[in-house]
Amino acid sequence: MKISRSLFSLILLLFPALAAAQSPAPAKSLKAVKFGKLWDARGKLWTNAIVLIEDDKIKSVTTNPSDIPPHAQIIDLSRYTGIPGLIDVHTHMTIYTDETPGQPMLPQLTKNPPAVEVFLARKGALRTLEAGVTTVRDLGADQYEDIAMRDLINHGEIIGPRMFVCGYGLTVTSTPYKPGLNPPAGGIADGVPEVLRAVRQQVAAGADVIKLYASTGTDDDVTQFQTYSYDEIKAAVDAAHQFGKKIAIHSYGPDGARDAVRAGTDSLEHATDMDDATIQEMARRGTFYVPTIDHNRYYLDNWQKIGYADGFQEKTKAFIERNLETARKAHKAGVKFAMGSDAIYTMFGENTRELAWFVKAGMTPEQALRTATTNAAELLGHATDLGAVAPGYFADLVAVEGDPLSNIDIAIKNVRWVMKSGQVVVDKTSASPAR
Ligand SMILES: [Zn+2]
Cα 79 to ligand 1 centroid, rounded to whole Å: 37
Cα 371 to ligand 1 centroid, rounded to whole Å: 17
Please count the residues of the chain.
Answer: 435
Q: Mean pLDDT score of the chain, rounded to an integer?
A: 92
**pLDDT for residue 423 is more than 70:** yes
Cα 343 to ligand 1 centroid, rounded to whole Å: 7
Cα 248 to ligand 1 centroid, rounded to whole Å: 10
Q: CA 376, CA 378: separation in Å to the nearest integer? A: 5
pLDDT per residue as tens digits for the range 78-107:
999 999 999 999 999 999 988 777 788 888
pLDDT class of 8 with cuts at 50, 70, 90: very low
pLDDT per residue as tens digits for the range 106-158:
888 878 899 999 999 999 999 999 999 999 999 999 999 999 999 999 999 99
Cα 275 to ligand 1 centroid, rounded to whole Å: 22
Cα 422 to ligand 1 centroid, rounded to whole Å: 29
Q: Does 10 or 285 have the greater pLDDT score?
A: 285
pLDDT per residue as tens digits for the range 285-317:
999 999 999 999 999 999 999 989 999 999 999
**Percent of the chain beyond pLDDT 70?**
91
Query: How many CA atoms, within 13 angstroms, populate the side-chain half-sphere of residue 127?
Result: 20
pLDDT average, residue stretch 388-401 = 98
Q: CA 401, CA 359: separation in Å to the nearest integer? A: 19
Cα 4 to ligand 1 centroid, rounded to whole Å: 59
Q: Would you state the pLDDT for residue 3?
A: 46
What global pTM score does this model have?
A: 0.92
Cα 175 to ligand 1 centroid, rounded to whole Å: 14
Q: Would you state the pLDDT for residue 100?
A: 76
Q: 435 burial class (0-12, 13-18, 19+ CB within 10 angstroms)?
A: exposed
Cα 139 to ligand 1 centroid, rounded to whole Å: 6
Cα 411 to ligand 1 centroid, rounded to whole Å: 23
Q: CA 239, CA 218: separation in Å to the nearest integer? A: 25
Cα 121 to ligand 1 centroid, rounded to whole Å: 16
pLDDT class of 176 with cuts at 50, 70, 90: low
pLDDT average, residue stretch 399-421 = 98
Q: Would you state the pLDDT for residue 112?
A: 86
